[in-house]
Structure 1
């Protein structure tokens, strides 16, 4: 087939109550095409007589323009399908047209030769707003992408494409899906890419006109996240008849996975001869898709720039309902389902007892009656692959509660209902989706009791929390979702506060969460003082250090290293100050030995003679403490800082900046200097290294204080508070 100036084709135009001035401009631009061998079929979706009269008058009887009239209205998707069903067999190519754009004269002539190589070709448009003729964008910037990325996000605008007539043999009839994402050009593009190929070129071929009556459009596609959420709510009311959380989740799933699933399944049924490229493209989106395939397709598309961040967020929003649809609920299969779809997210906990092997962390299921303690659900702000002090405390308490007979569930979610972060981090949704593809993962750095249920979700709303007896929030961003869920379930809830988390949220937001009707639990006196300043009551539960995990080492005189410190890339932990202080001693006296550790990379400025352990094991950390005379903390602020306490439990003296998170427990076992004062830290280290007897006295007092509050005592008090037992 030549696809040259002699090639006959059809321009399929779908019309519905057109703006007559814009419609006139569109028709005249088609009439002026340099490639003149075509017929323009105009399907009037209502108002046939008016459209017929207008076309006859404006086109001066040009026989190439024919109006098709029908008694029933189908909407733009059905109207395009109907006009394409009337494309004659002798047509060699088909172009789609809206009723309100303006084609450039050489549009068809430019695109037509590409059909020698592919089934469909599409170009670009200049985006113009009417009235006013303002140029919104010089180009639509559509891209040529793989089949998988094209299914995930459409890159073909119908009015900008031209395709071979035989593509309709595959594409008709159009598949059906009740959602706004059901669009004709996306389906046609996917059909072409899956079989004869599709190409997007950079040529600007028309003005793409935006106005108040657009069904779809470029301007409307560029919403803020807030506007996108408003749009989602409106669509939920339209397609689900409700704006309830469940209806919104179902709508989000339809807008993301739903329409892509319909296309992929339809292609699977219609295409008889497949290829590796075909399988790789549709497998991540078909009904039986695997999560590894889907995650790889979405993440790879996002990294390449083939899938926009907003599209990625749509899939993230559709994720929970897709888990339910696939029969892969984020909750345990042993939880009993109830009568409504909503309760697939809130399944009742099965009642288990656990063998001794399970207590050791092995997977052994034994069903029996529920323990007397009931169930406790604890919400954390995302999953961490690396040790975090606050998480360690929560996990320790979770183990205690499980040992006491409570049925404990830990839920990690990065994106949380009611959260209000100080800064928008665009990496967070991506990290959330990636982590949620392993919904049952457990931290490798902490041994959780095998009876504890652990889940990681992409995001969390109040209605998604399972039915439970007690709820616990563990961070500022988790407070609102826990408070709302507690109200819904009419159960007691607590707020475990380990810091004033102003790096995560603005102070006003933090203070509002501290005033929520939750039972507050704080870990340090300085947090208690701030709570009282807000007129709120709270329970003080200081952390405990396990003497078996961090036993006292040898006397200071027998220890190999002089200084020990943790180095973190968290700004307020002041790695720069730690490096400066330690370097000053090592450079001044080669006999001074220092050991450091952290989860990040070795600081480039750290003296080469200083030992640095990356991603240390428990044994590494214990060795560092027990081999050092003193521990250095240079933080600007901490809630209740675990490393200095662990070092004190290991028999170290402590030198620290004067922060509430260390003074809370180290009044007798540490020397303090002002925050940010490198010289003050150096002076205190000098004093201890030059007076080992005083350093030993300080270390002994600190060790005694650490033994006063054991982890079991702290855990018992925590249990009593969150279960409202006095």
Structure 2
């Protein structure tokens, strides 16, 4: 089968959402499918605000970055996977006997409006509540399109069901060969890890505020942060920061060195870093952000607070670090909870959906 993944231009930095797509592309290529990943500079659709202005900005960015689009350095892509790039897709682009997978709502609208021959085998792959990226009416118009949707968590399926009933669930997965327990849960000290992310929806500023409150009661609390951006200026000299960390660094120097993984995001499609941390023995302290509901149960496999509740999160952080047995119990349950999500099962389920849609069933 011919499978085309349509994404926007990349900046060659680690991304959880793109990592999922790249991993599936590798798997499908090994299974004998003809797989192409497209990186596009612009994906216009009729309802996009300031279309002409955005096309000009995107063209400038495209010209500057086009030479770098056909190489990904942070992820080992299967040599069988073809990479193509362009400002737009070719006008005669088609895929009659396979599937086209759109990475987000805007790409779905672009393909549906400009390439009507693709509509029967077009899939919108949804990894988040995409309304955090654009106006709700625009995103919801993509959700209402009469095309197949694939979502990565049960809560996303429930969310999308109000707009469309042509939805399949392929849960995200844990890369067990990369993220696993190395340091005994019982022996971990007052160390908390969290993600540094530029998007306000990821709650980095709230996470740092939680840390600052908790340090008033636990002065020797140590922080390990990681992310693509520069080290936050508010981190103390005793804290660690890993920029564009490798999976090995995340496993050995971040997660396995932490007692708690703190996630203060406003919305998560799945919570990929949370599952990684839990698989490495961290106790998850998270907001009720949606995506974690598939694998995190409050007071059993995680402690959960309301979105934006910095005070309560700080109290629970202090509680976990002050109650060793409870922290270990929750961490142990969390490790068991995430172990059921395997790449093999998810990839096979995704391939089955592609086979069904590609064959017109």
Question: What TM-score, normalized to structure 2?
Answer: 0.90
Residues 85-484 of structure 1 correspond to what in structure 2 (within 5 A)? 374-418=1-45, 420-421=47-48, 427-441=57-71, 443-460=72-89, 463-464=92-93, 469-484=98-113
Structure 1 residues 489 and 390: CA distance shift in structure 2, 3 A: closer
Separation of aligned partners in 2, 1:564 and 1:600: 16
DSSP 3-state at the match of 1:672: strand
CA contact (8 A) 1:522 1:538 kept: yes
Q: Give the total of aligned pairs.
A: 352
**1:486 Cα deviation (Å)?**
6.1
Structure 2 residue 310 is matched with structure 1 residue 681: no
Separation of aligned partners in 2, 1:486 and 1:552: 47
CA contact (8 A) 1:525 1:664 kept: yes
CA contact (8 A) 2:218 2:318 kept: no
**1:484 Cα deviation (Å)?**
4.9
1:690 to 307, 322, 325: 322
Separation of aligned partners in 2, 1:663 and 1:674: 13
Separation of aligned partners in 2, 1:409 and 1:516: 24
DSSP 3-state at the match of 1:612: strand
DSSP 3-state at the match of 1:455: strand
**1:500 Cα deviation (Å)?**
2.0
Separation of aligned partners in 2, 1:415 and 1:477: 10
Separation of aligned partners in 1, 2:86 and 2:189: 45
1:547 to 176, 183, 186: 176
Match of 1:649 in 2: 279
Match of 2:263 in 1: 633
Structure 2: give runs of 5+ residues left out of the alignment: none
Which structure's relative contact order is higher, taking Cα pairs within 8 Å and 6+ residues apart? 2
Match of 1:720 in 2: 352
Separation of aligned partners in 1, 2:26 and 2:324: 39
**1:399 Cα deviation (Å)?**
1.1
Separation of aligned partners in 1, 2:153 and 2:183: 30
Match of 2:212 in 1: 583
Q: Which moved more, 1:614-623 or 1:673-682?
A: 614-623
Q: Which moved more, 1:554-563 or 1:669-678?
A: 554-563
Separation of aligned partners in 1, 2:348 and 2:211: 39
DSSP 3-state at the match of 2:317: helix
Separation of aligned partners in 2, 1:478 and 1:445: 24
Separation of aligned partners in 2, 1:714 and 1:394: 12
CA contact (8 A) 1:417 1:460 kept: no
DSSP 3-state at the match of 2:87: strand
CA contact (8 A) 2:217 2:318 kept: no
Separation of aligned partners in 2, 1:641 and 1:414: 28
Separation of aligned partners in 1, 2:118 and 2:336: 44
CA contact (8 A) 1:379 1:478 kept: yes
Match of 1:528 in 2: 157
Deviations 1:317-375 (A, max 9, x none): xxxxxxxxxxxxxxxxxxxxxxxxxxxxxxxxxxxxxxxxxxxxxxxxxxxxxxxxx21
CA contact (8 A) 1:376 1:469 kept: yes
**1:421 Cα deviation (Å)?**
4.4
Match of 2:292 in 1: 662
**1:457 Cα deviation (Å)?**
1.8
Match of 1:671 in 2: 303
Separation of aligned partners in 1, 2:32 and 2:62: 31
Moved over 6 A (4+): none
Q: Rg larger in 1 or in 2? A: 1
**1:417 Cα deviation (Å)?**
3.6
Structure 1 residues 610 and 490: CA distance shift in structure 2, 3 A: closer
**1:439 Cα deviation (Å)?**
4.6
**1:586 Cα deviation (Å)?**
3.6
Separation of aligned partners in 1, 2:57 and 2:236: 33
Structure 1: give runs of 5+ residues left out of the alignment: 1-373
CA contact (8 A) 2:124 2:148 kept: yes
Question: What TM-score, normalized to structure 1?
Answer: 0.46
DSSP 3-state at the match of 2:245: coil
Separation of aligned partners in 1, 2:119 and 2:139: 24
Separation of aligned partners in 2, 1:642 and 1:565: 12
CA contact (8 A) 1:467 1:489 kept: yes
Structure 1 residues 462 and 651: CA distance shift in structure 2, 3 A: farther
Structure 2 residue 250 is matched with structure 1 residue 621: yes
CA contact (8 A) 1:555 1:696 kept: no
CA contact (8 A) 2:266 2:307 kept: yes
